[in-house]
Chain A
Amino acid sequence: MANKRMKKVAAKETVATVVVMRLYIAGRAPNSVKAIANLEAICRQHLKDSYKLEIVDVCEHPRRALDDGILVTPSLTKLSPTPSANVIGNLSDTGSVLAALGVQLSPAQ
């Protein structure tokens, strides 16, 4: 499906559970591009390989976004592990994204 990517990789020892996320974006609009870049950087640094990310383009799948209760984009939803959480915006605030994803920072980080 267009503009929809899935990444699935095995968990490593640093993070035990796989974080499942869905990012809603609007095509190649500036904040959406930033959100993808920010999220990928965060995942690379803090989640290593234990995450699964789906990117949904709301310009192509508006009904899906509406059905999922999405009102604005970019919008990141953590689906698993529970509790689910939402972050709105271009995800430049790493702290709030990590908090929403439930990632505990070690003192070294």
Chain B
Amino acid sequence: MIDAPESTDPLLAQDKAAAEFKTWLRRLVTDTAELVAFDAGEIDAVMDRNSVSALLLPEAQTALHDSHRIALSALDALPGEICVLDAMGIVVMTSKAWRVSGAAHARAGLDVRAGENIFDACLDAPAGERAHANAVAAGLRKMLAGMRQLLRFRYVCPSPRGRSVFTLTMAATTAQSPVYTLLTREWHSPRQQTGKISGVAAGKVRRIATAVRSGAQNRLLAALPSKDYAQLASGLEPVTITYGEVLYEPGEPIRAVYFPSTCLVSLLTPVDAHRALEVGLVGREGMIGASLALGATKSSVRALAQGTGTAMRMNAKRFLREFRRSEALQRVLLQFTERLMVQISQTAACNRFHLVEARLARSLLMTAERMGSAEFHLTHEFLAAMLGVRRVGVTVAASELQRRGFIRYRRGNITILDQRGLETASCPCYRHLQVLNPPPANAPRPMSVLNLLRLHGFF
């Protein structure tokens, strides 16, 4: 096979791919005024309803990439050891001095790189440095919760030349900026005196650090004022919930409540020994066990995990205590309970009146929305239980949705190909529930390079 000359040149191939992408983006634009602006090169991004995101034109992508590169090289040019963290504790970028020194002190657990989560790095710190790492994690937690603006720690740590002393400074940036915390490290001569950092119980800090990390993903927890959340955080324990796991059985006492971060839980009402019907679906926008707050001690539904992921767990006793104490928690939970009741009653009516195909479409849309992904795993058996129909009914409905090009279904792996099409195929209940239960907003993007440069006084 002979390659065409342009395909062997990577730059030309890149240009060709960019041009093709641009042509594809142009097809998404329909209105005349928008097309005129598009052709005049005055457009940066086209909105994509399927992925709910802004698709940047190649020129805009290049410009943003270049500005990221400029910021990185500017950061590298600074003499200090600097590390920039976003709101979740992810390292956005580090200066060259930070990387060099981190590699030299990797033994002390200081080699934290871009893309890593600083809380994970603190948890992975070597045994000898655990107390320091825990104190850093606790300090960061305070910064991210907005309780502190500036913190300083001074440490002694092992280094290739014996023991070294350094000061770690954390500075919170303004709330307007997407970059949240700036870490700087300064080294001192070992003769200088060092202050001992008082350590908090390791397990507790670890739990709090993780709670901050994943708790923020749950909308109810995120809606709490930082003071109330801080109070709650020490009782929250991160757990992984796997697909098919049963959290509650009907009639059994509720021992713990769950705030899903990335998992998805289906609420099923059993009608006899073998059959059950899904009446509600709860993801990161809500909680499992809210009936405890209404005075119930036993579950009336089966709570079954429909998607593997993480959640924050709190034992029932502590939850009730916090619920009585915090007005904000009461408000947030009552609002959620009201939304859940609407969902349950709408689902009940929907199950009675609408066809399997429309219900399947609604169910898939709701799942995708709560999982925050257009791809997920659901077996026929599970779907049949969710919709209260036999497996063959699901097969027929899913095949029809697949034939119309709305979804791809292969061995339980479902991909939504055409969100808008699936919405038209679903019953009006989906639209109704969406209005009442607006889906969670996307997580804030971590980076603003200009803010970073501004921070360093470049302009």
Contacts and interface: CB of A to CB of B under 8 A. Distances in A.
A89 B384 CA distance: 49
Given A2-B177, A72-B37, A88-B33, A31 B54 contact: no
A61 B38 CA distance: 21
Nearest to A59: B54
Interface in A1-48: 2-3, 25-32
Nearest to B60: A29
A50 interface: no
B116 interface: no
Contacts of B445: 59-60
Given A65-B47, A66-B47, A88 B37 contact: yes
A61 B443 CA distance: 9
B42 A31 contact: yes
Interface of A: 2-3, 25-32, 58-66, 70-74, 86, 88-90, 92
A74 B44 contact: yes
A62 B42 CA distance: 19
A68 to B, nearest CB: 10
Interface in B64-99: 64, 67
Q: Is the interface of A mostly helix, strand, loop or mixed?
A: loop
15 contacts: A2-B176, A2-B178, A26-B56, A28-B448, A29-B44, A29-B56, A30-B59, A59-B45, A59-B56, A63-B52, A71-B31, A72-B46, A74-B43, A89-B43, A90-B42
A31 B44 contact: yes
Contacts of B36: 88
Nearest to B31: A71
A92 B52 CA distance: 28
Contact of A63 (B43, B46, B439, B448): B439
B34 interface: yes
Contacts of B444: 2, 60
Contact of A72 (B41, B45, B441): B45
B43 A3 contact: no
B53 interface: yes
Contacts of B448: 2-3, 27-28
Interface in B166-223: 176-178
B17 interface: no
A84 B449 CA distance: 34
